[in-house]
Amino acid sequence: MENIQKKAAEIASFFLNNLSRFDKIYIVSHKDTDGITACALLYLTLTRFKKVETKIISQIYLKTLDELKNEVGDNLVVFSDLGSSFCREISEKFRYYIILDHHPVKNCKENILNPHLFGYNGAYDLSGAGAAYFFCKNLYPEIKKYSYLAIVGAIGDKQNDPFQNLNLEIIKEGKGVFEKYGKNIFIENIEDDLRDGEYFSSLVNACGTLNKADLGLQVCIQNKEAIKKAKKIFKKYDEELNTALKHFLENKDKIIEENKKRSVYFIVSDMKRSLTGPLSTLLIKVFNDKPVIVISKRNNLKISARGTKKLVSQGLHLGEALKMAVDRKGEGGGHDIASGAVYNGEIEEFMEKVDFEIKKQFKKRFLIEGEIIINYEDEETAASTAEAVNVDNEKPLKATLIESYNNKNEFITLIKSENMGTFKNVIDDMLVCIKSSEIMKE
């Protein structure tokens, strides 16, 4: 943790050393809970030094940077919860910039605070709001009383199952801020309803999703009128979300059947574009054996993808898959476990591309593959052998995939492994299991 804290202090020094060289500070942040809470922390801190203007956006495009450059001139731009994938372009276009982010990063060294650069995983260990908090506390020590915003941001990005590493350090540091924590947090000395971290996160996220990010920003800084308005908005938003969720759950069997040959559950409709993110987060809890990709067909394709830690451990990286799939027909990327994209092409074309990319990711994990095929005299024997062997292998080795089934009177076991030693041992064990099953059948 010391290295990332040291880097945060260095970037704060850069800010102070160049303070006299610009007249205004622009904060450019993402419009989800994490981005809005990051923006709030920065706003509370940086307004103590200069005039500040906030811009909360859905994502960065090259066109976005060009337009921003024309507006900003030589003033400072602070990017929060975004910017890591555009490091080179940002460094070329802006004279004074800071990036406080947690998304996968490449070709970035100067003026960036990102957990990936210090051996942490930005999908689990620190949010964009957490990066903003580390930076801000070097400039405004009293910001520690708002440390809950960093953790609400982490909850917004599903980093609370459980809180770990840098997020846990922020919680432990916030004595007198957090009443208690587990999977959720409860915050002291703020508006009653917002003491529940998950509700706070949902309220802010609804504001961002419905293009009322400025209202979400006011909620973060405890504006009572803003909180009242946000609660009304959230109620309507929650009703729309639950209606959409109910529809997909009622069609669960159809969704499974349509996607049985794919590596992904594609869930497609003319839903509001604002619902793809929250729906994908809810639906991965139901369709959890494969990644879930929710697509809105309104205008161009709006895409949100979610996975699980288990799928990530098997090779899944949704950010890379979506980035490869959209290619030059849109923008896509994000974390291994959660990502998003916009696609300006045909839906079947996109689905085919992303399905290919994810299948390729899962295959990469296993270096050695083999099959055991045995022909029996009848289908019943083949089926009972497959059933018996599957029971014996309910908990296979982490580095091995074992799948047994029958095709009429043919018994088939597929074995994939990450190393030859394990592969040989599994083959031997499987043959013993098969022979035992045959003896019991006799």
15-47 pLDDT, tens digit per residue, is 999 999 999 999 999 999 999 999 999 999 999
Report which of 176, 200, 199, 197 is spatially closest to residue 188, judged by C-alpha positions: 176
Query: Residue 417: pLDDT above 90?
Result: no
The answer to whether 335 and 321 are in contact (CB under 8 A) is no
Q: Does domain 2-232 have CATH number 3.30.1050.10?
A: no
Q: Outline which parts of the chain fall under CATH 3.90.1640.30.
A: 2-232
Q: Which residue has the tokens 């031997």?
A: 428
pLDDT digit string (tens) for 112-154? 999 999 999 999 999 999 999 999 999 999 999 999 999 999 9
Mean pLDDT, rounded, of the chain: 90
pTM above threshold 0.85: no
Q: What residue spans in the chain does CATH classification 3.10.310.40 cover?
A: 251-364
Quote the CA–CA distance of 138 and 144 in Å, as a whole number.
Answer: 10
- 368-441 CATH choice from 1.10.520.10, 3.40.50.2300, 3.20.20.80, 3.30.310.50: 3.30.310.50
- Is residue 22 within 8 A of residue 78, CB to CB? The reply is no
Average pLDDT over residues 175-181: 84
d(CA 11, CA 18): 11
Query: Shortest CA distance to 410 belongs to which of 377, 440, 433, 432?
Result: 377
Tokens of 377: 């005299």
Give start-end residues of each CATH 3.30.310.50 domain in the chain: 368-441
- The per-residue pLDDT for 389 is 75
Please state which of the ranges 8-12, 79-83, 267-271, 392-396 shows the lowest mean pLDDT.
392-396
Fold assignment, 251-364? Diaminopimelate Epimerase; Chain A, domain 1 (3.10.310)
- Lowest pLDDT segment from 56-70, 94-108, 366-380: 366-380
- How far apart are alpha carbons 343 and 341 in whole angstroms? 6
List, in order, residues 6 or more apart from 424 with CB less than 8 Å away. Answer: none
